């Protein structure tokens, strides 16, 4: 094992390299591009014994990833944001093929308006696709997550593709010290690829991905795939245990930070959860009984772990870095569905923050804690709230004024 200073993107590339992948169909998109550039460098130099091909779109990229996995090789690919959406048809399709491979998504908010900085609407759009989802909050977790993802995806109880998610900019371009396992150590955790009979060979012809007629077989295969996704909960725990034995780093399906004696919890995903973690420490210093839950696995959803960790708390504040337009925070809905009707279910609070990379300040976490405490006392949650300051609103008003002036000038010119 060697410590290196790596960006999140480089950590993802190292994950692919250590997983000894055979094939990388790729397509550039900000902020993911550094991953495929790094891998291209290694395949060119021979440091990676893999073949890489640049496709003309993410839709084609996921198609090629799926058919290559269906032919019997270990596949890695990566994208972001609009790319993930462009590939959406094929995400559902290749998951239905039960083609196991790993896709790193570097989260970036979705158009419109088009922007570059992160939130989780891109990856959550793939929530129901059949791809499993692992969400990372550090560069170390990205590298480790790729290795874990192959173990889970390729397990005979699962056989599904898996997304490893990291936040654009905040993680993709941030350098952190990362323990990089040796190839030998990685191999001890992740054995060479076994297609488990999924292949195309002249001597064993097969028709894959065929049509079905009617709801009977369709329901059967869809539900079977759902059950396979649920199996990934057990498989994750087993893989994480092996991982911890070999590398000494432990991962639960849910990161639970200072929750044991807590009355209040923050719930967040991804790298912004490290901000919540920092806020927990500061609040604890002030005597607040507060902790943090961070689901690493989002699909399958670690319902049992969340129920166990959150039941009996007085209030749970879910901070969603995403927005289901016309409904609200996606994680809030998911966590609420797990806790509803449970004995000792806490009061649930919903906050939307960090959209398009908008920062969340320590003061905002303190405010959320205060609102949660009040809600627990009242036994009633306030309406969902957007984290947004007066100063930000003033800034936008200023931009709107400028836009109006500019338009006015254009209209004057026309007259």
How many angstroms separate the CA atoms of 193 and 66, rounded? Answer: 15
CA–CA separation, 32 and 364 (whole Å): 29
Residues numbered 204-223 forming contacts with other proteins, rule: CB under 8 A = 205-213, 217
Q: Binding segment for other proteins among 55-63, 234-242, 250-258, 349-357 (CB under 8 A)?
A: 55-63
Residue selected from 68, 147, 240, 372 as contacting other proteins according to rule CB under 8 A? 68
- Cβ at position 163, least distance to other proteins in Å: 18
SS3 201: strand
> Binding other proteins by CB under 8 A: which of 7, 11, 16, 25?
25
Q: Are 57 and 77 in contact (CB under 8 A)?
A: no
**Min separation Cβ 112 and other proteins, Å:** 23
Angstrom distance (rounded) from CA 410 to CA 415: 9
Using an 8 Å Cβ cutoff, are 189 and 143 in contact? Answer: no
The closest alpha carbon to 124, from 330, 335, 293, belongs to 330
* Smallest distance, other proteins to C-beta of residue 90, A: 6
- Told to check if 22 binds other proteins by CB under 8 A, we report yes
The torsion angles phi and psi of 185, rounded to 5 degrees, stand at -60, -45
Q: Is residue 401 near other proteins by the rule CB under 8 A?
A: no
* Closer by beta carbon to other proteins, 202 or else 410: 202
- Encoded one letter per residue, x for contact with other proteins by CB under 8 A and - for no contact, window 88-107 reads -xx--x---x----------
Contact with other proteins (CB under 8 A) among 28, 72, 252, 382: 72
- 325 near other proteins, judged by CB under 8 A: no
What's the start-to-end Cα distance of the chain, in Å?
A: 71
Helix locations, 72-195, DSSP H: 81-86, 88-97, 121-125, 139-154, 183-189
Query: What gap in Å lies between CA 347 and CA 62, rounded to an integer?
Result: 41
What is the closest distance, in whole angstroms, from the C-beta atom of residue 213 to other proteins in the complex?
6
- Cβ pair 32, 104 in contact under 8 A: yes
Q: Shortest gap between Cβ of 96 and other proteins (angstroms)?
A: 10
Positions in the binding site for other proteins (CB under 8 A):
22-23, 25, 49-51, 53, 55-57, 59-61, 63-73, 89-90, 93, 97, 200-203, 205-213, 217
């Amino acid at each position: 094992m060697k410590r290196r200073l790596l960006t999140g993107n480089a950590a993802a590339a190292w994950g692919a390299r250590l997983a000894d992948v055979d094939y990388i169909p790729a397509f550039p998109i900000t902020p993911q591009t550094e991953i495929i550039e790094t891998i291209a460098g290694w395949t060119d130099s021979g440091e990676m014994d893999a073949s890489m091909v640049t496709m003309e779109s993410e839709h084609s990229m996921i198609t090629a990833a799926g058919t290559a996995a269906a032919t019997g090789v270990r596949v890695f690919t990566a994208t972001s944001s609009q790319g993930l959406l462009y590939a959406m048809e094929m995400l559902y399709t290749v998951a239905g093929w039960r083609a196991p491979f790993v896709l790193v998504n570097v989260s970036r908010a979705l158009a419109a308006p088009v922007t570059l900085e992160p939130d989780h609407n891109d990856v959550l759009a793939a929530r129901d696709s059949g791809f499993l989802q692992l969400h990372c909050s550090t560069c170390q977790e990205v590298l480790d997550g790729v290795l874990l993802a192959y173990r889970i995806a390729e397990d005979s109880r699962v056989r599904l593709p898996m997304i490893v998610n990291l936040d654009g900019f905040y993680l993709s371009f941030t350098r952190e010290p990362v323990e990089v396992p040796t190839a030998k150590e990685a191999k001890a955790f992740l054995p060479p690829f076994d297609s488990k009979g999924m292949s195309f060979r002249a001597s064993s012809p097969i028709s894959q991905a065929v049509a079905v007629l009617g709801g009977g077989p369709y329901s059967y295969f869809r539900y079977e795939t759902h059950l396979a996704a649920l199996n990934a909960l057990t498989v994750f725990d087993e893989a994480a245990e092996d991982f911890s034995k070999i590398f000494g780093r432990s991962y639960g399906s849910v990161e639970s930070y200072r929750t044991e004696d807590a009355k209040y919890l923050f719930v967040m995903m991804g790298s912004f959860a490290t901000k919540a973690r920092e806020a927990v420490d500061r609040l604890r210093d002030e005597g607040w009984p507060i902790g943090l839950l961070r689901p690493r696995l989002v699909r399958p959803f670690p319902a049992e772990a969340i129920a166990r960790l959150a039941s009996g708390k007085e209030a749970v504040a879910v901070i969603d870095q995403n927005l289901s337009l016309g409904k609200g925070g996606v994680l809030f809905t998911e966590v609420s569905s797990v806790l509803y009707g449970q004995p000792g279910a806490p009061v649930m609070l919903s906050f939307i923050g960090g959209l398009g990379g908008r920062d969340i300040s320590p003061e905002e976490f303190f405010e959320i804690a205060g609102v949660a405490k009040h809600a627990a006392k009242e036994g009633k949650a306030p309406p969902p709230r957007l984290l947004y300051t007066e100063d930000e609103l003033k800034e936008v008003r200023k931009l709107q004024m400028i836009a109006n002036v500019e338009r006015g000038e254009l209209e004057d010119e026309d007259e």
